[in-house]
Amino acid sequence: MQPAEQSPESLTIDEVAALAEGDMRAVDRLISTSLESDVALVSQVSEYIVMSGGKRLRPLIVLLAARALGYTGQQHIRAAAIVEFIHTATLLHDDVVDSSSRRRGRDSANTVFGNQASVLVGDFLYSRAFQMMVDVDSMRVMQILADATNTIAAGEVMQLMNVHDPDTTEEAYRQVIYRKTARLFEAGAQIAAVLAEREPGDEAAMVRYGMHLGTAFQLVDDALDFNASVEELGKNLGDDLAEGKATLPLIYAMQHGSRQEAQMIRSAILEGGLGQLDEIRAVIESTGALLYTATQAHEAAQMSIDALAAVPQSEYKQALIAIAEFSVRRKN
């Protein structure tokens, strides 16, 4: 991935984190208390994955967007925690479905606690999130989050249908990444506008911001699966290929490589496994598949920034812009 240029006025990611530090501490406290359960294993598994050092970008977007839109209440804290719980539940379920052994640089929860515990604790987090939605006391917020959760679940099924299918199109791939990833980014930004009681135009702008940001984020993720170090990535390199997932770098490489190269990638997707990972990485590089994926990610990130045009200037708006820029510069 080619690094994105950072505009001179941009905040660094550390400055963004510092700007939201007070709100994020409140989110962490709420998460901690909400994870408490009289069933010990529920708390153990939940804390293992929720407190495992993830980027927390989704709750951060809720917090910053709310402040950028002038919200002065406290329900954005609860909304941010809910978004993190929904995301974490999807991770628990994903790792079981994908038989993943690594997550965020250490053993995945299903590796440590087993598949059954991971699935059931994922269910606990989903249900806890819906309990917390009730406390927000906003039917609009509940509708947005309920719809997003349903869309994510449908996206998981759609991705499952595409596994080991080398004929997956770029359009089908983009449908999956919208449902699985971008939809929750979109919901988080939209909720901020709803809480701030902004007009429909501002709400639509935040929907676009979140949708395009989530798209950029996932495109970079899928490129990093073939173009990062294991230490940076925090999970096994080539996981998508091992699981038979036709992501954009693979789809593009099949379309632009030689017949022999395309057949090699097709076979790898059909069979799964990493027997020819090095050769496939070379094809992805030589066909320009990584550059194409990077270009698509940069375009999505720029569209997310453009969506903020009507939002009043503030350090919080600059922080949202910085997150979009960071999404295409990161290495994990």
Q: What digits encode the pLDDT tens for the residues 70-118?
A: 999 999 999 999 999 999 999 999 888 877 777 666 788 888 888 898 9
Asked which of 42-56, 59-73, 118-132, 225-239 is least confident by mean pLDDT, the reply is: 225-239
- Host domain of residue 125: 13-316
85: which residues sit within 8 A by CB, 6+ positions away?
A: 31, 34, 50, 125, 126, 128, 129, 132
| Number of folded domains that form the chain | 1
Is 46 within the bounds of a domain? yes
Is 52 within the bounds of a domain? yes
Task: For residues 13 and 19, give the distance between their C-alpha atoms in angstroms, rounded to a whole number.
Answer: 10
Q: What is the pTM of this model?
A: 0.91
Task: For residues 77 and 81, give the distance between their C-alpha atoms in angstroms, rounded to a whole number.
Answer: 6
249 pLDDT above the threshold of 80: yes
pLDDT in tens, 164-174: 999 999 999 99
| SS3 of residue 107 by DSSP | strand
Cβ atoms of 204 and 310 within 8 Å: the answer is no
Is 7 within the bounds of a domain? no
Q: What's the rounded mean pLDDT across residues 127-140?
A: 95
317 pLDDT above the threshold of 80: yes
pLDDT in tens, 184-194: 999 999 999 99
Q: What is the CATH number of the domain that holds 81?
A: 1.10.600.10
pLDDT for 160 equals: 92
Helix (H) / strand (E) containing 320: helix 315-327
pLDDT for 214 equals: 98
Is 2 within the bounds of a domain? no
53 pLDDT above the threshold of 90: no
Asked which of 93-107, 151-165, 267-281 is least confident by mean pLDDT, the reply is: 93-107
Is 327 within the bounds of a domain? no
Q: Is 22 exposed, middle or buried (0-12, 13-18, 19+ CB in 10 A)?
A: exposed
Is 4 within the bounds of a domain? no
Is 35 within the bounds of a domain? yes
212 pLDDT above the threshold of 80: yes
55 pLDDT above the threshold of 80: no
Cβ atoms of 117 and 43 within 8 Å: the answer is no
Is 170 within the bounds of a domain? yes
pLDDT for 272 equals: 86
pLDDT for 213 equals: 98
2 pLDDT above the threshold of 60: no
User: For 306, phi and psi rounded to 5 degrees?
Assistant: -60, -30
**Residue 30's pLDDT band (boundaries 50, 70, 90)?**
very high
23 pLDDT above the threshold of 80: yes
Q: What is the CA radius of gyration of the chain?
A: 20
